[in-house]
Structure 1
């Protein structure tokens, strides 16, 4: 499902217009991005949790030259599925 299909489905399920559904989806994305950018987390009970995790510095390998390369530490966005979502998928 792409973004356009998701917007259409949200509009159908909620009774909103597609423009309103698009605005709602964009607002949700903006809130999640803004919260994660300051190191916070967003927890939607039953659906899941968006959070920031630190990835440690590690040794990698350049595939062209096979020489070792140090990959610097970084922060990454992660998602952990909630119980309702896990049960629905299983």
Structure 2
């Protein structure tokens, strides 16, 4: 499912226009991005938690030449699925 299909599904389920559904979804995504960028966690009960993480610097290898590369440290985004989400995926009740 891509964003336009998700917007259409939201619009149908909520009985609102596609434009309104798109604004709501875009606003939700932007809000999550801004919160995680500031270092805050975003917890949606039953769905999951978005949080920032850190990846340490490490040495990697160029697969073509085998030469060592220094990979710098980086910030990452982590998502942990909530129990209800995991149960739905695993079809548990």
What is aligned with 1:23?
A: 23
- Pick which of 27-36 and 62-71 moved more: 62-71
SS in 2 for 1:8: helix
TM-score, with structure 2 as normaliser: 0.93
Q: CA deviation at 1:64?
A: 2.3
- Residue-by-residue CA offset, 1:18-75 (whole Å, 9 max, x unaligned): 1110000000010011111111111000000000010011110012221111111111
**Deviating runs (4+, > 6 A) in structure 1?**
none
Structure 1: distance between partners of 2:33 and 2:64: 35
What is aligned with 1:8?
A: 8
TM-score, with structure 1 as normaliser: 0.96
Structure 2: distance between partners of 1:82 and 1:59: 33
CA RMSD, aligned part only?
A: 0.7
